[in-house]
Amino acid sequence: MTVQLAGADAFHRWCTVADEVRSTTKRLQKLAALVDYFPSLPDDALAIAARFFSAIVFPRHDARTTQVGGSILWAALASLTGLSDESLAEAYGRHGDAGDMVGDVLVDRPASAHSLGWIEERFAALARATGSTARREIVRGALASLGGNEVRYFAKLLAGELRIGLKEAQVEEAVARTFERPLEQVRHANRLRGDIGEVAILARQGRLELVRLALFHPIGFMLAQPLATPEAIVEALPSPFVLEDKYDGIRAQAHVDGEEVRLFSRTLDDITRGYPEVVASLRGLGAGLVLDGELIAVDPVDRRRARPFAVLQRRLGRKAPTPAVLAEAPVGFVVYDLLAIDHELVLDSSYEARRAHLSSLSWRDDSALMASNTLAVTAHDVETAFARARDAGNEGLIAKDPASAYTPGRRGKSWVKLKRALATLDVVVTGVERGHGRRNHVLSDYTFAVRASEVDPTLLNVGKAYNGLTDAEIATLTKRFESITTERFGRFHTVRPEVVLEVTFDIVQRSTRHKAGYALRFPRIVRVRDDKLPTEIDTLARVRELAGDSDPSTDDA
């Protein structure tokens, strides 16, 4: 039985439940808060509430976005309050979170009577608005109309992060518990529809079994677990197992329904417009298809030969590449798995069965092609395939259990990867910054440098890293960096160059972002090198070597 309370759909009530979720670290208590709340809502409010608790404002299959970044929110808040940038920066510094900053600044405002539907309409208005001025006025109007706690969560939803210790998987679990449905049935329905709000209503109505696949919303990607050696792969997987090349590109998912094609990134963003040659190659491939693969830079003559990631970098972030860019840096889509065919998900089918579906499609083999694979039994098989993959310009290998299902968003043991040995650099920290969210009160983001040369001790910044250390290590380093801070600029501290780190990364590429003229892709901290002096760190020559540049004169090219 559903009990609907007067004002149950009020946004301030949703915010109160969000506070309750935020106040505990216990999973069952978080679930209990949602299970108590969901039954009181009418259907339309239930759908909105479930989406909002998943930190999304539109269904995943809905292409709309609010088009609001931090600068619009900042300007709207400044216009409403009359506060200076310095005052707002100070408020942000106390929290490291835009939503908490807004809630702090407007803390004394009383709760409004606005409903969840009213909030949803504000987001819809932002999606319709043209120009930053119009969007700023919509945000300003919403901030002026809402209470202190409501503006906090309005801003968090705009940013796409609630930071209350709740993920969509837990919202799925709460829906299952609330309406007494099997959890896997709820999750399966959400994968099919891409809208936890719609799924919540269907769960209430007992109609989950009627759900069919809705294309053009991204499904979570299955991930591979890294292993260090061929021997470890042989031990981990049943024999024989499948080997595929690991491509040095960006993961992508293609949805194809006749002539309509959309591409989604691993971060679930729509990137279709950036890769017109791939879209053209996929058109007409089939009906109701969802394909998993890699976008890679390819040789203009031999489309099966990969080029370095640095070439692909020229295409990233471009919404409409010019003909010149398309000619200079052509991209291919190498497809290695299939998640749906004829509008039916096949996630539970074996890898072998999914590959059979892929093989049945009529590939043009121009800018979209099916990845090749081979069977392996021994470590020697893996070593031979690894060498062949590297010779082809690829990053390494993925090994797969032929009987494995496709598990979205999970890093299971049925897919494992073997990559090239990663290079490292010894660097010195030149600047540190407070983190965000739970790391707001520690110095966790480190800018680092190398020496100009063996005879020139000038420090040249080459990157920034914030992954790799434990919370305990970061806490210890925070005290250390506080003691060697020479200047402060808001959240950023310039520090004496005393702390040496060993960092690893995927590749080195040219960049104007850093003084060294290079940047590290995906840098991670391996360890603190207290055994090394700053005078012993690596030089720019080593960075050039790792980037494949042997001629120093090319630095200014």
pLDDT in tens, 455-479: 898 999 999 998 889 888 999 999 9
CB 102 within 8 A of CB 127: no
Residue 224 in 3-state DSSP? Answer: strand
CB 386 within 8 A of CB 418: yes
φ/ψ region of 222 (left if φ > 0, alpha if ψ in -120 to 50, else beta) reads beta
> From the centroid of its chain, how far is CA 407?
17
The conformation of residue 489, written as its DSSP 8-state character, comes to E
Distance CA(28)–CA(21), nearest Å, equals 10
- C-alpha distances (whole Å) from 376 to each of 45, 147, 238, 353 are 53, 62, 10, 18
Element (H, E) at 373: strand 373-376
Dig out the tokens for 74 from the structure: 């900042």
Burial class (CB in 10 A: 0-12, 13-18, 19+), 83: middle
The conformation of residue 454, written as its DSSP 8-state character, comes to S
Residue 337 in 3-state DSSP? Answer: strand
Distance CA(507)–CA(547), nearest Å, equals 7
Which domains, and CATH codes, for the chain? 223-419 (3.30.470.30), 424-556 (2.40.50.140)
Vertex 477 angle, CA 438 and 520, to 5°? 80
Check 30, 156, 246, 417 and give the catalytic one. Answer: 246
Residue 260 in 3-state DSSP? Answer: strand
**Token match 């919403």: residue?**
142
Distance CA(136)–CA(35), nearest Å, equals 36
E strands, 230-272, are 241-246, 250-257, 260-265
> From the centroid of its chain, how far is CA 502?
25
Distance CA(547)–CA(508), nearest Å, equals 5
Per-residue pLDDT at 182: 97
Per-residue pLDDT at 308: 85
The conformation of residue 285, written as its DSSP 8-state character, comes to S
Radius of gyration of the chain (CA): 26
Per-residue pLDDT at 422: 65
Distance CA(321)–CA(325), nearest Å, equals 6
The conformation of residue 539, written as its DSSP 8-state character, comes to B
Dig out the tokens for 207 from the structure: 């109609």
Residue 295 in 3-state DSSP? Answer: strand
CB 371 within 8 A of CB 392: no
User: What are the residues facing 256 on neighbouring strands?
Assistant: 261, 289
Distance CA(170)–CA(177), nearest Å, equals 10
Vertex 186 angle, CA 185 and 192, to 5°? 90
Helical residues (DSSP H) of 340-442, grouped into ranges: 351-359, 379-391
Residue numbers in the chain where pLDDT is lower than 50? 1-6, 551-557
Vertex 493 angle, CA 488 and 498, to 5°? 130
CB 390 within 8 A of CB 396: yes
User: What are the residues facing 335 on neighbouring strands?
Assistant: 293, 370
Distance CA(253)–CA(244), nearest Å, equals 17
**Token match 């539907």: residue?**
117
User: What are the residues facing 464 on neighbouring strands?
Assistant: 447
Helical residues (DSSP H) of 96-245, grouped into ranges: 98-105, 116-128, 132-145, 148-159, 168-178, 183-193, 196-205, 230-236
Burial class (CB in 10 A: 0-12, 13-18, 19+), 86: exposed
Is the bond leading into 240 cis (omega within 30 degrees of zero)? Answer: yes
* Stated length of the chain: 557
**Amino acid (one-letter) located at 91:** A
156 classed as catalytic:
no
Residues whose CB falls within 8 Å of the CB of residue 400, separated by 6 or more in sequence, listed in order:
237, 241, 242, 243, 244, 351, 414, 415
The conformation of residue 171, written as its DSSP 8-state character, comes to H
Distance CA(509)–CA(504), nearest Å, equals 14
Dig out the tokens for 36 from the structure: 């108590």
